[in-house]
Amino acid sequence: MPEMPDPADGQNRAIGDDDAGFVARCRRGDTDAFAVLVRRHQKKMLNIAYRMIGDYDEACDVVQEAFLSAWRAIGKFRGEARFSTWLCGIVLNHARSHMTQKAARSRREAWSLDDPVKSKDGSLLKEPSSREESVLERLEKREAKVQECIGALDNEQREVLVLRDIQGFSYEEIGGMLKLPEGTVKSRLFRARSALKDGLLSVFGDLK
Amino acid sequence: MTCNEVDNLLPAYREDLLSSEERKSIAGHLASCSRCSHAFADLKRADDLVRGLGEVEPPPFFEQRIMARVREEAGRKQGILRRLFYPPHIKVPIQALATILIAVLGFYVYQQGDPEMKQIVPLPMPRTEIGGDQGKAASPQAPTDSSAVAPGQRSPALDFPDVNRQQFAAPPLEKGGKADRTKELPAPAVESHPSAMKSAAAVRTEAVDKVQGRAGEQQNARGPETSPPERKYKDKSADSGAAAEASKKMMFTPAPSQSMPAGAVKESAIDLTIQVRDVSAAIGEIEAHLRQANARIIEKQRREGGVLLKAEMAAPDVDAFLDRLKAIGRVKLEKNPLAVTDGKVTISIMIVGNP
């Protein structure tokens, strides 16, 4: 069971939050209020989980579990950070835990033919295009490769990259979620960007 | 600034997080170095690729799926409380009433069970030097029930026949006890239960009659009406006078009481220890000899270091019996009253193994 992030660690000041009223109703056991929160945040949480895990179905499962954990722990949420930030921390914890389990499972099982092929230095190898592709197919393939490159980053770098460059959280919010100082978040993000650039170059050859 | 240093600072440069000096320095380097400017362009394109990633949509009924599980969880939590206390205005008073009722019932049962417990729990053994008849018959707490004998001191092999057990279940007298502790004993429970006292007194009287061989009418007439046993004992002690005092000096010697009717059979006591190789075998042999001498075994008890066998036999048979005992083991007479030629003799035989 992934641990619940403590919102107080991230921000010690009260934050204006549109979700506060619904959160208060949830604390009294109002499931309809929680349904509103699920409706509001499900897409963002699913995208974070998907970019972290790289598998859509698994991301759905993780988000479902994360919402259930949030419901169980809503009494502990003190409203010192945004509800979305707190929820995002729960999703990240579940995603991390899922990836750890998956890595342990894949170590036991034989490697799959579908896995991205890596060269000796660990970089992903280029795939030769076999036939003429439509623009949409090319775009999908491109996105899949970018996702593969994101997946090739180590967990810490991937987290900050997804939260900052894909989800647009502030450094302060990311620091709160990951319990890290802002400076550490920034340096980790810059390393992640450099590593991603190298990964993309090795996959695409040229980023023009 | 070298290309490597510039390469490391490019992400921060892109975020505009560097000082103006560093910014100027990097800008100058990028203008002159095509490799670094190319790397900077790649970084920007990589960022654009990541930021340009499309968003995935949740699957259909994703919210419903999540909420179904949340509601199930919420229902389970409420369900336990609801089952226990809902509706509160009906269930809570009933539960409170039931709790009180159980508590009262428990207290009542405890109160009812208490006297029984007092009867069942073995009473402390009186330690006295008084002769056999007083020790057995006048010991006030002598329980009439066989269950009153401490179970730890008995073994199935040493059990008496039921009749004997009922009549002689009085706690055994301890050798060497100096003080008469009968008075220290707590008042018997039968005091508060006249019917129980009556029956106990009746059985006790019967035991006295059997031992002393006198008619039971007199004792039966006294028994139920007498005050608590300790008072009876006091009376008896006072009545017995100097003769009783003399008798105390001799263990197991019956106290000739003034109240004893004339012509009552005299009774004496012999206390001996026999050392044998095999205690259990010796018990069998001694019992056989006792039967042969028409003796009546009145007590058999496992003691520390051996077994105590108490029997009653006619005085003329004692000498022959003692001779037979000498054949079994080494006999040591602890107490031997003056030669008794008539009446009955109580013999306490302590059978011990050879050290």
> Does A118 map to a domain?
no
> Does B274 map to a domain?
yes
The answer to whether the complex's ipTM is over 0.90 is no
The residue with tokens 């921000």 is: A11
- Pair A12, A81 in one domain: yes
- Pair B185, B150 in one domain: yes
Residues on chain B touching A42 (C-beta within 8 angstroms): 58, 62-63, 66
> For residue A54, what is the domain's CATH number?
1.10.1740.10
- Give the whole-angstrom CA distance, residue B91 versus residue B97: 10
Say yes or no to pLDDT of B307 above 60.
yes
pLDDT value of position A13: 40
- Pair A50, A130 in one domain: no
- Pair B160, B133 in one domain: yes
- Pair A77, A180 in one domain: no
Q: Which residues pair with B299 in a beta bridge?
A: B310
> Does B96 map to a domain?
no
- Give the whole-angstrom CA distance, residue B25 versus residue B36: 13
The answer to whether the Cβ–Cβ distance between A29 and B66 falls below 8 Å is no
| B1, two tokens | 């600034």
Nearest to A193 among B43, B55, B70 (CB): B43
> Does B327 map to a domain?
yes
- Pair B243, B282 in one domain: no
More confident residue, B279 or B87: B279
Instruction: State the pairing for strand pair B344-353/B267-276.
Output: parallel
Residue to substitute from B53, B65, B72, interface A, most A β-carbons within 10 A: B53
Mean pLDDT of B26-40: 90
Instruction: State the pairing for strand pair B306-314/B344-353.
Output: antiparallel
> Does A117 map to a domain?
no
Domain around B13: 3-51
- Pair A1, A104 in one domain: yes
> Does A9 map to a domain?
yes
- Give the whole-angstrom CA distance, residue A9 versus residue A80: 9
- Give the whole-angstrom CA distance, residue A184 versus residue A189: 8
- Pair B220, B325 in one domain: no
- Pair A101, A2 in one domain: yes
> Does A115 map to a domain?
no
| Total count of domains within chain A | 2
pLDDT tens digits, one per residue of B255-300: 444 444 444 445 568 888 888 888 888 888 888 888 888 888 888 8
> Does B87 map to a domain?
no
Mean pLDDT of B9-15: 87
- Pair A16, A101 in one domain: yes
> Does B60 map to a domain?
no
> For residue A180, what is the domain's CATH number?
1.10.10.10
- Pair A166, A201 in one domain: yes
pLDDT tens digits, one per residue of A71-114: 999 988 887 788 999 999 999 999 999 999 988 887 777 555 55
pLDDT tens digits, one per residue of A105-157: 877 775 555 555 555 555 555 555 555 567 777 778 888 888 999 999 999 99
> Does B150 map to a domain?
yes
> Does A119 map to a domain?
no
> Does B29 map to a domain?
yes
Give the domain-ending residue among B51, B68, B87. B51
Check CB contact of B7 with chain A, cutoff 8 Å. yes
- Pair A40, A69 in one domain: yes
- Pair A40, A91 in one domain: yes
- Pair B289, B212 in one domain: no
- Pair A99, A178 in one domain: no
Measured over the CA atoms of residue A198, residue A200, residue A203 and residue A205, the dihedral's sign is negative
CA gyration radius, chain B: 47
> Does A104 map to a domain?
yes
Residue burial A70-82, b: 16+ Cβ < 10 Å; e: rest = bbeebeebebbbb
In angstroms, how far is the first alpha carbon of chain B from the final one? 105
> For chains A and B, what is the number of CB pairs under 8 angstroms?
100
> Does A131 map to a domain?
yes
The answer to whether the Cβ–Cβ distance between B78 and A29 falls below 8 Å is yes
- Pair B336, B277 in one domain: yes
Domain around A179: 124-208
Give the domain-ending residue among B221, B248, B275. B248
Give the domain-ending residue among B195, B217, B248. B248
Give the domain-ending residue among A52, A84, A108. A108
Please state, as a whole number, how many other Cβ atoms lie within 10 Å of the Cβ of residue A11.
16
Nearest-CA distance B44 → chain A (Å): 9
Which chain A residues touch B if contact means CB-CB below 8 Å? 29, 31, 34-35, 38-39, 42-43, 46-47, 50-51, 56, 59-60, 63-64, 67-68, 71-72, 142-143, 146-147, 150, 161, 165-166, 186, 189-190, 193-194, 196-197, 200-201, 207-208
> Does B154 map to a domain?
yes
| Total count of domains within chain B | 3
- Pair A86, A140 in one domain: no
Mean pLDDT of B208-222: 45
- Pair A9, A86 in one domain: yes
> Does A82 map to a domain?
yes
| Per-residue confidence band for B119, with pLDDT thresholds at 50, 70 and 90 | low
